[in-house]
Amino acid sequence: MALPAARALLPELTIHHADPEQDRATLERLACWAGQFTSAVSLAGEGLLLDIAGSLRLFGGLAPLLRQVRRGVRRLGYRLGSTAVAPTPQGAWLLARAGDGRPVLEVGALSERIGALPVAALDVAGDVRERLAGVGVRTIGDLLALPRGGVVKRFGAAVLDQVDRALGSAPDPRPLFVPPDFFSGRLALPAEVREVEPVLFGLRRLLTELHGFLAAKGQGVDTVTLHLHHPEGGGTPVILTRLALTRDDRHLFGLFRERLGRQKLAKSVDALALTTGETVPLAAHSLGLFGGAPPDADGQLLERIRARLGEAAVTGIHGLAEHRPERAWQPCAPGLRQLPLADGTRPLWLLREPRPLPAAGGLPCRGGPLTLTAGPERIESGWWDGVDVTRDYYIARHGRGGGYWVFRDRDGAWFLHGVFA
């Protein structure tokens, strides 16, 4: 039907121009996502073929697996046209093209089901379909009832080849889809936006794709970048760095929501892109017998705080190979401690600068004379950088039980340098 005639019949008709390249890119992204259900995914025309025979026990059977697939496709924002299950890939493909979603689990049951399908389910040229209808062939069963030699001569071998592969009487090898090394997803927004909520809505879809991609590879990432593309060109990157590897799309979404909630969009956004760096194998975690908190609950809490307050607001500290206490540590990302900070003989709480203490009878005083309970520990270091020190450190206590870390310098003066909890 011509477009003007279609508009005359349906004035509110909406026209969407076909974009084969975009359709192919979308199908490949879906193939990346579908790899979480099986390692054998093939591109087939305008759809996907998944070999799920080895995955049924993992997902609890056919019905639960199909529910997860359908639910996941909806989360991605797509509408699932039709699905079919059959022992052969071509059989499943023909059933899906015909809209017959009843599963066929045995090869012996294929003949009746395939034979009842209309010849329109076959991938043949329009003139071949018309000639088949001209000789009274309405179903695939009608086609099989004709002499094979005559069918090949009049309609070509490709027609029966499709049926033979569907019935399992001819081999049907399919090239497997190989996912890329890195994830890269893009989503065009329906309109330009200046608010965060529409951006988060699109981001959720991209993170769902990312989860499927990583689950298929059994890997995780610690850095994810969201690119906000602007109509006038260019983009604004939002980089999220985790403390540990993950593929948890819900947690990543929460972190991005905290990060974007702290800022206003300076420019309009018309498209989103989500990219990752190198992916790394992600070790599995065993669940407790009675459930409980996830293994990374503390780390996830720290990440949410960092996303809300900024990375500089939450840091960790780790030790350095340095004898001078004030130089024996440095800030780092939480959870990245490399050397222990203290072994029990040194306090974790150091003063910013050593504080002079009065002395009486050769002993330091702080609200009264202190009792030296351990020491001395001689620290003589730093001659190479011009900040050399010579100190004798002691653990000192007063009558109320408080503990201090004090030292006496080369001139005999006493200083307070740390406090024990």
Give the end-to-end CA distance of the chain in Å, rounded to a whole number: 84
Residue 397, beta-bridge partner list: 371, 403
Predicted confidence band at 415 (pLDDT cuts at 50, 70, 90)? very high
- CA nearest neighbour of 48 among 81, 10, 19: 81
Separation CA 51–CA 373 (nearest Å): 72
Does the pLDDT of residue 349 top 90, yes or no? no
The percentage of residues in the chain with a pLDDT greater than 70, rounded to a whole number, is 89
Does the pLDDT of residue 222 top 90, yes or no? no
pLDDT number for residue 40? 93
Domain extent listing, the chain? 21-167, 184-282+295-308, 325-420
Select the more confidently predicted residue: 418 or 297: 418
Backbone angles phi, psi at 157, to 5 degrees: -75, -20
Token pair 């009065």 in the structure block, residue: 358
CATH of region 184-282+295-308: 3.30.1490.100
Mean pLDDT on 182-188: 90
Separation CA 193–CA 186 (nearest Å): 16
Does the pLDDT of residue 386 top 90, yes or no? no
Predicted confidence band at 243 (pLDDT cuts at 50, 70, 90)? low
**Token pair belonging to 141:** 């069963």
Which residues make Cβ contacts (< 8 Å) with residue 219, sequence separation at least 6? 245, 247, 279, 280, 281, 282
Mean pLDDT on 215-240: 89
Lowest mean per-residue pLDDT among 41-45, 50-54, 367-371: 367-371
pLDDT number for residue 254? 87
pLDDT number for residue 327? 80
**Token pair belonging to 161:** 């080849």
Does the pLDDT of residue 288 top 70, yes or no? no
Rg, C-alpha atoms of the chain: 34
Q: Give just the sign of the alpha carbon dihedral 162, 164, 165, 170.
A: negative
Does the pLDDT of residue 286 top 60, yes or no? no
